[in-house]
A and B are shown apart, each in its own frame.
Chain A
């Protein structure tokens, strides 16, 4: 199901993958230096999934993300400075320093938020798809979720309801074979595609390291969902290069598994394709340097950002604080 992307299209996907990779490498260093508060879950190794899928989306479409959501946010087009400022806990952050890495959201671009609850984004995406359907917006919603969320009851509820209501919803599974410290085979007795079959939902497995393959599969499925064919399942086989969280010693993981994961590099897959198309190494390096410069500028701006305002946070518990006592 490979559709040919032209050079310019593939370069653009490659650029977004580099943006995610370099942003997270930068975050990893910032975390090591103690500049990032809290938990940090990096998605290095799975950049092709959000990039391939979001490239198939349109401006009004929506995505609900996970705890490993930096790639979804950047691929959906959130503001880079607001992104770094949020993760560093600054007032200028997308969420004014109230959410951090696990809650990055930008409703302006249809990014409904990373989510601290495994499976928490699934019914949100379903509701968003319902809104698209009822409002005839022509939009599609994407629920990104990890293989770990397959064991949550809410996934099964959502598959059922989305199928019953023929919602314009893409279930996008990022199957990296691990949920925290446990391998998939100890977590899940079924197969996602077989579940799709049980609910009458078309399901496809794809190599999540190949952005062109992801993009092609997503294109077809999103077009079907948009056209009224109901929900679709795209299971992307992917890899987790880093620990579950930054600082995770990964004692539960043997060296072979890690080496396996790193042997598939979505950036190398795509840069090789670009070179085969005749794009020079120099052009690719120039693009990478430009991305790195944007990231450095965003980091520098975030570092100069203000501390979040406590009174403003306290005033934002409700949209409309009513005329009574809340607490």
Chain B
């Protein structure tokens, strides 16, 4: 057991996967000689050589497309898209090729590839280097999308993603890279699609993933001081997502808040809210509430971005609103 930063847990998962399986290769922009823009792949080229750890030119469409072809050719490529914002340039390979090959070719083949990519704001990186676009990918049949919130899960989910026969987008939050957690010498595996209960409670359920897990835990601590016991569920995986765990929690709390850093509109929270409303309408004591970013590009200036990013206070307020629902249960336009 050792204290490990989120970024280093990913580094160790890559190293261990490469050690265990010679078909695992890495490529992406500045990942090899320079060790990655966030130092996540540092030391891997030195350890595994230039054939298996490669720098590419700035060619996102080809990085992702080559990963599909390499996966069809028997390799397990793990590629990096430097910022999730740049996934726009890789969308054909992901959406039209990787996601569909297994289905479209009648089950003849699998596409065991992983795209690692960081999302999220907080670095004042501005509108084109901060977005959380995971809902786009979760919308595409054939892709899997995981978003770990801590070093332990980052390690385990990356190992699971690399071992998975389907294309997996592994989303890292930039603000989490330097956060620390315990990583066992022999970490426990985590299955894609399984949530974890980050904090137990009986009054309301807060469903979160990625960096929003920490915000939800802070919110739950603040609420506890008022005598409100919020349960925090860390989804870990959003495509597929652990509906059973969420329903089990809602059966207990009868109140659900879904929070994420991504824009609220048409987001992951919208899907979960709709689904839970369909399946647990009578169990719910209040409508499912969503917390997410306002419907605008991520702004640059410190004050603007601070106001834009949803945080613990927004989650706390949403939990209170949910608990007080009867008092103001009127549809407001």
Q: Which residue of B lies closest to A326 (CB)?
A: B240
Report the number of A-B residue pairs with Cβ-Cβ less than 8 Å: 178
When A103-B105, A105-B108 are in contact, do A327 and B141 touch as well, CB less than 8 Å? yes
Chain A 281-326 residues near chain B, CB threshold 8 A: 313, 316-326
A318 CB to nearest chain B CB (Å): 5
A316 to B101, CA, bound (A): 10
Residues of B within 8 A of A97 (CB): 106
Q: In the bound complex, do residue B240 and residue A324 qualify as a contact, i.e. CB atoms below 8 Å apart?
A: yes
Q: In the bound complex, do residue A116 and residue B96 qualify as a contact, i.e. CB atoms below 8 Å apart?
A: yes
The reply to whether the CB of B323 lies closer than 8 angstroms to some CB of chain A is no
Q: In the bound complex, do residue B68 and residue A127 qualify as a contact, i.e. CB atoms below 8 Å apart?
A: yes
A165 CB to nearest chain B CB (Å): 8
A98 to B96, CA, bound (A): 14
Contact with B along A103-132 (1 / 0, CB 8 A): 101111000110111001011111111111
Residues of A within 8 A of B72 (CB): 62, 107, 112, 124, 127-128, 131
The reply to whether the CB of B30 lies closer than 8 angstroms to some CB of chain A is no
Q: In the bound complex, do residue B59 and residue A157 qualify as a contact, i.e. CB atoms below 8 Å apart?
A: yes
The reply to whether the CB of A93 lies closer than 8 angstroms to some CB of chain B is yes
Q: In the bound complex, do residue A134 and residue B25 qualify as a contact, i.e. CB atoms below 8 Å apart?
A: yes
Q: In the bound complex, do residue A106 and residue B69 qualify as a contact, i.e. CB atoms below 8 Å apart?
A: no
Q: Which residue of A lies closest to B27 (CB)?
A: A130
Interface stretch among B188-196, B285-293, B304-312?
B188-196
A326 to B69, CA, bound (A): 25
Q: In the bound complex, do residue A130 and residue B105 qualify as a contact, i.e. CB atoms below 8 Å apart?
A: no
Partner of A161, one of B62, B67, B103, B194: B62
The reply to whether the CB of B275 lies closer than 8 angstroms to some CB of chain A is yes
Q: Which residue of B lies closest to A122 (CB)?
A: B65
The reply to whether the CB of A183 lies closer than 8 angstroms to some CB of chain B is no
Interface stretch among B12-20, B73-81, B129-137?
B73-81
Chain A 219-267 residues near chain B, CB threshold 8 A: none
The reply to whether the CB of B283 lies closer than 8 angstroms to some CB of chain A is no
Partner of B73, one of A108, A130, A321: A130
When A95-B108, A98-B103, A313-B103 are in contact, do A127 and B57 touch as well, CB less than 8 Å? no
B221 CB to nearest chain A CB (Å): 28
Residue with the highest number of chain A CB atoms closer than 10 Å, among B62, B108, B166, B275: B62
Q: Which residue of A lies closest to B64 (CB)?
A: A123
Q: In the bound complex, do residue B105 and residue A325 qualify as a contact, i.e. CB atoms below 8 Å apart?
A: no
Residues of B within 8 A of A62 (CB): 72-73
Q: Which residue of B lies closest to A320 (CB)?
A: B165
A130 to B104, CA, bound (A): 23
A113 to B96, CA, bound (A): 12
Partner of A98, one of B69, B93, B106, B243: B106
Partner of B69, one of A99, A123, A135, A164: A123
Contact with B along A72-95 (1 / 0, CB 8 A): 000000000000000000000111
The reply to whether the CB of B164 lies closer than 8 angstroms to some CB of chain A is yes
Chain B 188-224 residues near chain A, CB threshold 8 A: 191-194
The reply to whether the CB of B177 lies closer than 8 angstroms to some CB of chain A is no
Q: In the bound complex, do residue B107 and residue A316 qualify as a contact, i.e. CB atoms below 8 Å apart?
A: yes
A62 to B96, CA, bound (A): 20
Residues of A within 8 A of B242 (CB): 323-325
When A117-B96, A158-B62, A161-B62 are in contact, do A131 and B104 touch as well, CB less than 8 Å? no
The reply to whether the CB of B102 lies closer than 8 angstroms to some CB of chain A is yes
Q: In the bound complex, do residue A93 and residue B241 qualify as a contact, i.e. CB atoms below 8 Å apart?
A: no
Residues of B within 8 A of A271 (CB): none
Residues of B within 8 A of A217 (CB): none
Q: Which residue of B lies closest to A143 (CB)?
A: B69
The reply to whether the CB of B56 lies closer than 8 angstroms to some CB of chain A is yes
The reply to whether the CB of B185 lies closer than 8 angstroms to some CB of chain A is no
The reply to whether the CB of A195 lies closer than 8 angstroms to some CB of chain B is no
Q: In the bound complex, do residue A134 and residue B52 qualify as a contact, i.e. CB atoms below 8 Å apart?
A: yes
B32 CB to nearest chain A CB (Å): 12
Partner of B70, one of A115, A127, A313, A320: A127
Q: In the bound complex, do residue A99 and residue B106 qualify as a contact, i.e. CB atoms below 8 Å apart?
A: yes
Residues of B within 8 A of A131 (CB): 69-70, 72-75
Residues of A within 8 A of B69 (CB): 64, 112, 123-131, 141
The reply to whether the CB of B110 lies closer than 8 angstroms to some CB of chain A is yes
The reply to whether the CB of B255 lies closer than 8 angstroms to some CB of chain A is no
A131 to B72, CA, bound (A): 9
Residues of B within 8 A of A112 (CB): 69, 72
Residues of B within 8 A of A105 (CB): 104-105, 108-109
The reply to whether the CB of B119 lies closer than 8 angstroms to some CB of chain A is no
Contact sample, A vs B, 11 pairs, CB 8 Å cutoff: A95-B106, A113-B104, A120-B96, A127-B70, A129-B69, A131-B69, A154-B61, A165-B54, A320-B166, A324-B243, A325-B242
Additional pairs, 6, CB under 8 Å, beyond known A96-B106, A116-B96, A325-B240: A108-B108, A123-B65, A123-B69, A127-B67, A313-B103, A324-B194
